[in-house]
Amino acid sequence: MRHRSLLILTSVLTTGALTLTACGSRDDKGGSDNNADGGGVTVVIGVDAPLTGSLSALGQGIKNSVDLAVKTANKNKEVPGVTFKIEGLDDQAVPASGQANATKLVGNKDVLGVVGPLNSGVSQQMQGVFAAANLAQVSPANTNPALSQGDNWGKGEFKRPFPTYFRTAATDVVQGKFAAQYLFKDAGKKKVFVVDDKQTYGAGLAAIFSDEFKRLGGQVVDTDHVTVKETDFSSTADKVKASGADSVYFGGQYPEGGLLSDQIKKTGAKIPVMGGDGIYDPAFISASAEANDGDLATSIGYPVEKLDTAKKFIADYNAGGYKDPYAAYGGYSYDAGWAIIQAVKAVVAANNGKLPSDARAKVTEALGKVSFDGVTGKVSFDEFGDTTNKQLTVYKVEGGKWIDVKSDTFNQ
Amino acid sequence: MNELPQQLVNGLSMGALYGLVAIGYTMVYGIVQLINFAHGEIFMIGGFGALTTYLALPGGTPLWVAIPLMIIGGAIASVAVATAAERFAYRPLRNAPKLAPLITAIGLSIALQQLVWGFYPNAKDKRSFPEFTGEAFKITESLQIQRADLFILVLAPLCMMALGVFVSKSRSGRAMQATAQDPDTAKLMGINTDRIIVMAFAIGAAFAAVAAVAYGLERGQIGFEMGFVLGLKAFTAAVLGGIGNIYGAMVGGVVLGLAESLSIAYIEDIPGMQQLGGGAWSNVWAFVLLILVLLVRPQGLLGERVADRA
């Protein structure tokens, strides 16, 4: 008997913990029940992001920012007769989870648009599901060019694979080239060691960077790859030191990037590590006590703190009482959510103040035409669903903080 | 510049870390034939125990005073969790089919990760861990040893020696060997096998705590996920060295660590193998080595010598 009760205790504990991992996303109550009273319609904006796991700091920022957009729209009665709410799902940065979430969102009739995901690799698995259901998706953070321009974008053949896919983040083509130009021209580095994490985002960015750096006349002295979730990169760090490179470019995310930079510096090679928006996070600097001064990152847009349009967003976010900061993609997530709200507004206005029966297709169509002044600047989409906003900023670590050193509009 | 000595040091320190964690897998397997997949999380909890101890110490405590206390604090946490897991999760299943405790171990591993993720303050992101200050020791132009590497390279052999003496000389150690050979007969001889099994879990957990402190000192950060990959590697090290054999665990760890660092550095220099080198492939080469060893010696490098497995 005693043994049986122990067994039950253990299984309850285990089950409890398993449930914990899945919680935080139980807002399934469909809005359609509300239709009867007062004529108000509920429109759900799905959010898919890594809400747990090592990228959860970014994911929570995305979810909270969309939540803020929705609350603002409800407060201002942005779309008369329509109440917005969000349904946040956790993909843990795993492509298969993203696909399952996409299927779930498609299954909820009230979902008319989805913001997310964070990772390009996850997006690849979600696009098809959304396209089949005519459901619009706006990613605040995907930067892989193939997502909107097709697999052969590198050869100059641009073909939009999914008409339902939009993004408020600029692509890696813009970011990688911008980084190469800064490192070669502004920072005067000629010999770079390129490391990536083999993921869709990291490997793609590193390849674009390398091509542009070589085109400018720089030299890629060697390359290496690291594995996500590992923490000991000392062998790679020693290769960097032995190669005599004067700088390192890292295509990947901050958990690995922060450690790689620290371990390179520990070998005694005092050279800067540069990366994309994936490493532009305070956690990159706080990865360990080793100083990161001189490290560089590019990120999309002008610094949110410096845009007049963003001041209200930051004030509202802080007033909203969110537990986690808005992080790197907060502004883009707010704009992504707001773009969907604007599209719904246009659709409702064109249909005598009511949602049409084919609302999803109409919203997707309207999304291609939205244009408004958002947190991150002018928000609108080109014929591929990419943002027309190509502003970028280079940030540098100084005194343990990311400081913006150059902001520019990329053209070419 | 000759990279080889540096890569050997990298491999040795990585391997020593694997070895310390592998002890936990191999001791438990040696006695109850259970692969304790939650051991990676025991390692992680040791790290968080050490961090908690460090944060509780008055600010400005010198690191050489703090480290022994952190090891003790980490070991208290990891041993408490490991013995509780043994008592409440594994002991009730001791006579159940072998798959039941295995699945329990996997469930426990997820549960422990999520508990730390959910309830340890700010554990959703990486928590920073104290580090040695000061430059690395420069031996030659191409060889320098980080202070944290030195720490584990000194501590791991000391721990191994202490364990070796304990298992072969002490009364409890001999009782442990007896239990490993034949639990039923050991019981008939008056050995409290339940106590011995708890002891095996506890020793493994204490070693894991030492490893976790070394890990934190070297990386400068710990996180709730840190036990997963490292646990898998340590388990591999235990199998490579011969699971059930404590010296095998250390040998397996060192071989695995060296294989990883050397494959990162040198595979790509072999003509035609450029694509198969670098950090991306180090795990592949480590497992190729494991398969080759197991093909030739299915019992692992040092074999499962029943006489002194414990």
Please state the domain extents for chain A: 39-170+306-381, 172-300+392-409
Sequence-distant (6+) residues with CB within 8 A of A89 are A25, A46, A47, A48, A51, A101, A104, A105
| 3-class DSSP assignment, residue A40 | coil
| Closest Cα in chain B, distance from residue A348 (Å) | 41
The tens digit of pLDDT for each residue in B92-137 reads 998 899 899 999 999 999 999 999 988 998 887 788 888 888 778 8
Q: Do B282 and A288 touch (CB under 8 A)?
A: no
Determine contact, residues B189/B178, Cβ cutoff 8 Å.
yes
pTM higher than 0.90: no
Question: DSSP readout, chain B?
Answer: ---HHHHHHHHHHHHHHHHHHHHHHHHHHHHH----TTHHHHHHHHHHHHHHHHHHSPTT--HHHHHHHHHHHHHHHHHHHHHHHIIIIIGGGTTS-THHHHHHHHHHHHHHHHHHHHHSTTTTSPEE-----SPPEEEETTEEE-HHHHHHHHHHHHHHHHHHHHHHHSHHHHHHHHHHH-HHHHHHTT--HHHHHHHHHHHHHHHHHHHHHHHHHHHSEE-TTHHHHHHHHHHHHHHHH-TT-HHHHHHHHHHHHHHHHHHHHHGGGSTT-GGG-SGGGHHHHHHHHHHHHHHH-TT-SS---GGG--
pLDDT computed for residue B14 by the predictor: 93
Closest-CA residue of chain A to B118 = A20
The tens digit of pLDDT for each residue in B59-95 reads 888 888 999 999 999 999 999 999 999 999 999 998 8
B267/A contact by beta carbon, under 8 A: no
A 324-383: CB under 8 A from B: none
Q: Do B92 and A3 touch (CB under 8 A)?
A: yes
Tell me which residue of B241, B224, B223, B220 sits closest to B18, measured CA to CA.
B241
Determine contact, residues B277/B260, Cβ cutoff 8 Å.
no
Determine contact, residues B76/B49, Cβ cutoff 8 Å.
yes
Q: Do A7 and B228 touch (CB under 8 A)?
A: no
Q: Do B280 and A259 touch (CB under 8 A)?
A: no
B95 chain-A contacts, CB cut-off 8 A: none
For A184, which DSSP code? I
Q: Which CATH class is domain B4-132+139-308?
A: mainly alpha
Q: How far is CA A357 from CA A28, A34, A87, A347, A361, in A?
A: 21, 17, 21, 11, 9
Report the distance separating Cα A245 and Cα A195, nearest Å.
12
**Which residue type sits at B248?**
G
Q: Do domains A39-170+306-381 and A172-300+392-409 have the same CATH topology?
A: yes
Of residues B88, B223, B280, nearest to A54 (C-beta):
B223
Q: How far is CA B62 from CA A279, A289, B209, in A?
A: 32, 16, 20
B218 chain-A contacts, CB cut-off 8 A: 232
Q: Which two tokens stand for residue A319?
A: 């007033």
Only one residue has tokens 């040092």, namely B302
B 130-159: CB under 8 A from A: 130-131, 133, 135-136, 142, 144, 146
Report the distance separating Cα B175 and Cα B189, nearest Å.
10
A 53-92: CB under 8 A from B: 53-54, 56-57
Determine contact, residues A381/A370, Cβ cutoff 8 Å.
yes
Burial B12-39 (b: 16+ CB within 10 A, else e): bbbbbbbbbbbbbbbbbbbbbebbbbbb
For the range A96-99, what are the long-range contacts, defined as Cβ-Cβ under 8 Å and sequence gap of 24 or more?
Answer: A96/A125, A97/A122, A98/A48, A98/A122, A98/A123, A98/A125, A98/A126, A99/A125, A99/A126, A99/A129
Tell me which residue of B29, B77, B63, B95 sits closest to B243, measured CA to CA.
B29
Of residues A54, A226, A288, nearest to B219 (C-beta):
A288
B 22-81: CB under 8 A from A: none
A10/B contact by beta carbon, under 8 A: yes
pLDDT computed for residue B133 by the predictor: 80
Q: Do B125 and A230 touch (CB under 8 A)?
A: no
The tens digit of pLDDT for each residue in A32-44 reads 444 333 458 999 9
Is residue B277 predicted with pLDDT exceeding 90?
no
B231/A contact by beta carbon, under 8 A: no
Of residues B133, B136, B223, nearest to A266 (C-beta):
B136
Q: Do A56 and B124 touch (CB under 8 A)?
A: yes
Closest-CA residue of chain A to B230 = A230
Residue B305 has φ and ψ, to the nearest 5°, of: -75, 110
B104/A contact by beta carbon, under 8 A: yes
Q: Do A18 and B125 touch (CB under 8 A)?
A: no
Residue A298 forms beta bridges with which residues? A394
A234/B contact by beta carbon, under 8 A: yes
Tell me which residue of A90, A113, A73, A115 sits closest to A333, measured CA to CA.
A115
Q: Burial, B100: exposed, middle or buried (Cβ in 10 Å; 0-12, 13-18, 19+)?
A: middle
Mean per-residue pLDDT over chain B, rounded: 90
pLDDT computed for residue A28 by the predictor: 41
Question: DSSP readout, A81-106?
Answer: TEEEEEEEEE-TT-HHHHHHHHHHHH
What ipTM, to 2 d.p.?
0.72
- The greatest distance separating any two alpha carbons of chain A, rounded to the nearest whole angstrom, comes to 77
B226 chain-A contacts, CB cut-off 8 A: 231
Report the distance separating Cα A288 and Cα A301, nearest Å.
28
| 3-class DSSP assignment, residue A355 | coil
Q: Do A288 and B221 touch (CB under 8 A)?
A: yes
Determine contact, residues A253/A279, Cβ cutoff 8 Å.
yes
Sequence-distant (6+) residues with CB within 8 A of B240 are B248, B252, B255, B256, B289, B290, B293, B294, B300, B301
Tell me the angle at which helices A95-107 and A120-132 cross, rounded to the nearest 10 degrees: 30
Using CA atoms of A319, A321, A327, A331 in order, give the dihedral in degrees to the nearest 10.
Answer: -40
Residue A379 forms beta bridges with which residues? A372
How many CA atoms does the CB half-sphere of A247 hold within 13 Å? 25
For A306, which DSSP code? G
Determine contact, residues B93/A7, Cβ cutoff 8 Å.
yes
Residue from A10, A23, A92, A261 whose CB has the most chain B CBs within 10 Å, to mutate: A10
pLDDT category, B298, cuts 50, 70, 90? confident
CB contacts < 8 A, A to B, total 137
Q: Do B88 and A9 touch (CB under 8 A)?
A: yes
Report the distance separating Cα B289 and Cα B261, nearest Å.
13
Is residue B309 predicted with pLDDT exceeding 70?
no
Determine contact, residues B212/B222, Cβ cutoff 8 Å.
yes
Tell me which residue of A48, A110, A49 sits closest to A83, measured CA to CA.
A110
Domain A39-170+306-381 has CATH 3.40.50.2300: yes
Residue from A56, A92, A238, A284 whose CB has the most chain B CBs within 10 Å, to mutate: A238
Report the distance separating Cα A151 and Cα A384, nearest Å.
13
Determine contact, residues B236/B248, Cβ cutoff 8 Å.
no
Q: How far is CA B234 from CA B21, B167, B299, in A?
A: 6, 21, 17
Q: Do B219 and A231 touch (CB under 8 A)?
A: yes
Q: Burial, A373: exposed, middle or buried (Cβ in 10 Å; 0-12, 13-18, 19+)?
A: exposed
Q: Which CATH class is domain A172-300+392-409?
A: alpha beta
Report the distance separating Cα B275 and Cα B287, nearest Å.
17
Dihedral sign (CA B68, B70, B73, B78):
negative
pLDDT computed for residue A11 by the predictor: 52
pLDDT computed for residue B132 by the predictor: 85
End-to-end CA distance of chain A: 75
pLDDT category, B236, cuts 50, 70, 90? very high
Radius of gyration of chain A (CA): 22
pLDDT computed for residue A52 by the predictor: 85
pLDDT computed for residue A16 by the predictor: 52
pLDDT computed for residue B159 by the predictor: 95
Report the distance separating Cα B194 and Cα B86, nearest Å.
10
- Label residue A301 left, alpha or beta by phi (over 0 means left) and psi (-120 to 50 means alpha): left
**Which residue type sits at A30?**
G
Mean pLDDT by 10 residues, chain A (412 residues): 51 50 41 45 95 86 95 93 94 91 93 94 93 94 90 84 93 91 94 92 92 95 90 90 94 92 90 93 82 89 77 92 88 95 94 90 94 89 90 91 88 64
Q: How far is CA A95 from CA A86, A108, A118, B47, in A?
A: 21, 20, 11, 30
The tens digit of pLDDT for each residue in B209-230 reads 999 999 999 888 899 989 998 9
Residue B92 forms beta bridges with which residues? none
Is residue B308 predicted with pLDDT exceeding 60?
no
